[in-house]
Amino acid sequence: MQDPLIVTTSTASYPVVVEAGALTSLPGRLADLGLRGALWLVCDAAVAQAYGEPLAARLRAAGFTVHTHGVPSGEASKCADELWRLYDWMIGGAVERRDAVLALGGGVVGDLAGFAAASVLRGIAVVQLPTTLLSMVDAAVGGKTGVNHALGKNLIGAFHQPRLVLADTAALATLAPRELRAGWAEVVKHGVISDAGLFAELEELAAAHHWDERPLAGWPDQDAELALRLTAIIRRAVAVKVGVVSRDEREQGERITLNYGHTIGHAVEALIGYGALLHGEAVAIGMHAAARIAVAMGLCDEGLLERQRRLLAAYGLAVTMPHGLDPEAVIATTLRDKKVQARRVRWVLPTAIGSVTVRDDVPEDLVREAIALRADA
């Protein structure tokens, strides 16, 4: 068992555990944190049977009072109606300030349940239990919570740091291959923005392992070596996020680097309709476009672009712009990005594998070139 990673911000300090089988240690860890009130387990419907029910039984056996609530799978659940259902359930069940919300699922449940915890009774504890690769390496760490508004994603929310993050990598065995692939995009992103060693490990893993249709079936029991290796890589990717949010909790500076690939990625997602591409798939396209811009600006060489493209391809991620997208619409949409300041897009651009810079002086023509050509041209 490894020591947990620790997030330390000006408002909070909490452990982040990344292990195959980590969920079994939850009762003891809650007790160690002094969380002895009732537990409000919010669970993605798709993982209720496999992980939610056994977890609730284990917690009850350890003496905890556990209430459970299922959330329908999918982005549509990050909405006011589902949020109000959580309030009705908790307030109707006499939730108290000393209680804690447990968010078991992907980023959807993490954001929704996290925001319910941030706001009910003006804030109670939340523990994030991510079950997708994306939520392990990104959404569960850093305290951003919220729901969507009809006019845009994540427009209503709050910073609410969890008391504990427990990423049980064994849960990835049941994740759909496409969801797993989308998660790899964020892992690659963390390598590019700040950890060249992680990037190199991903290259080695890709060379040694064939990512077929059901890459992790029977895992981790049937392939202990791969389980250890993958868990170590995921932990390293989580460590990047832990470091960034510890240094910049409120996105005053460095945290924007986590947005690498997201400027174009968000625009593509918004234009082709949320759901047509998974977030990670759009981010892969966005990272490729950003690297092309960086090459055109002389910030990095073609080698970086090619290494990144090859690695994304090895994890099943395409980098070509979807057919039929109007480049002018993409550019116009980037100007509506939340990271825009004084109508200047703040681009996160790679300078080397493991390092990025933020620029707000990218000529529009370079963006046009980066997205107009088919990316494999």
Catalytic choice (160, 181, 241, 292): 241
By the 8 A CB rule, do 156 and 276 touch? no
Tell me whether residue 67 is one of the annotated catalytic residues.
Answer: no
Task: Lay out the site mask for ligand NAD across 60-99 (x = CB under 6 A, - = otherwise).
Answer: -------------xxx--x---------------------
Q: Is 69 annotated as catalytic?
A: no
Q: In one letter, which amino acid is 314?
A: A
Residue among 160, 259, 269, 309 flagged as catalytic? 259
Which window, 23-31, 103-111, 229-237, 302-310, contacts ligand NAD (CB under 6 A)? 103-111
- The pair of structure tokens assigned to 193 is 């923005």
Does residue 266 interact with ligand NAD by CB under 6 A?
no
Is the Cβ of residue 95 or residue 108 nearer to ligand NAD in the bound state?
108
First CA to last CA distance, the chain = 47
Name which position in 18, 55, 175, 282 contacts ligand NAD (CB under 6 A).
175
Q: Which amino acid is at 160?
A: H
Q: Is residue 122 annotated as a catalytic residue, yes or no?
A: yes
User: Distance (Å, rounded) from C-alpha 193 to C-alpha 176?
Assistant: 27
Looking at 255, 307, 359, 368, which residue is catalytic?
A: 255
Q: 18 near 238, Cβ under 8 Å?
A: yes
Annotation says 144 is catalytic: yes
Rounded distance, CA 317 to CA 282, Å?
Answer: 9
HSE, side-chain direction, 13 A CA sphere, residue 312: 30
Q: Is 237 in the site for ligand NAD (CB under 6 A)?
A: no
User: Catalytic residue at 251?
Assistant: yes
Question: Which range of residues in 12-20, 89-97, 174-182, 283-291 is near ligand NAD by CB under 6 A?
Answer: 174-182
Asked whether position 309 contacts ligand NAD by CB under 6 A, the answer is: no
Annotated active-site residue 323? The verdict is: no
Q: Binding to ligand NAD by residue 52, rule CB under 6 A?
A: no
The only residue of 68, 119, 128, 131 in contact with ligand NAD, by rule CB under 6 A: 131
Cis peptide before 72 (omega within 30 of 0): no
Helical pair 80-92 and 107-119, crossing angle rounded to 10 deg: 50
Q: Binding to ligand NAD by residue 105, rule CB under 6 A?
A: yes
The string over 11-29, giving b where at least 16 C-beta atoms fall within 10 Å of a residue's C-beta and e elsewhere, is: eeebbbbbbbebbebbbeb
Residues that contact ligand NAD, how many (by CB under 6 A): 28
Structural tokens at position 15: 């452990």
Q: How far is the CB of 99 from ligand NAD (least distance, A)?
A: 22
Helix (H, G, I), strand (E, B), or coil: what is residue 166?
A: strand
Closer to ligand NAD by Cβ: residue 181 or 288: 181
Please state the closest distance from residue 32 (CB atom) to ligand NAD, in A: 25
Give the residue at shortest CB distance from ligand NAD: 107
Q: Is 279 a catalytic residue?
A: yes
Q: Which stretch binds ligand NAD (CB under 6 A): 86-94, 169-177, 330-338, 362-370?
A: 169-177
137 contacts ligand NAD (rule: CB under 6 A): no
Is 249 one of the catalytic residues? no
What are the C-alpha distances in Å from 195 to residues 9, 246, 299, 351?
Answer: 21, 16, 18, 13
Do residues 102 and 42 touch, judged by C-beta distance below 8 A?
yes
C-alpha dihedral over 117, 162, 280, 20, to 10 degrees? -120
Per rule CB under 6 A, is residue 103 in the interface with ligand NAD?
no
* Pairing relationship of beta strands 152-159 and 144-149 according to DSSP bridges: antiparallel
Amino acid letter for position 348 = V
Catalytic center residues:
122, 144, 186, 241, 251, 255, 259, 262, 266, 279
Which residues of the chain form contacts with ligand NAD (CB under 6 A)?
44, 46-47, 73-75, 78, 105-109, 111, 131-132, 134-135, 138-139, 142, 144, 153-154, 171, 174-175, 179, 279
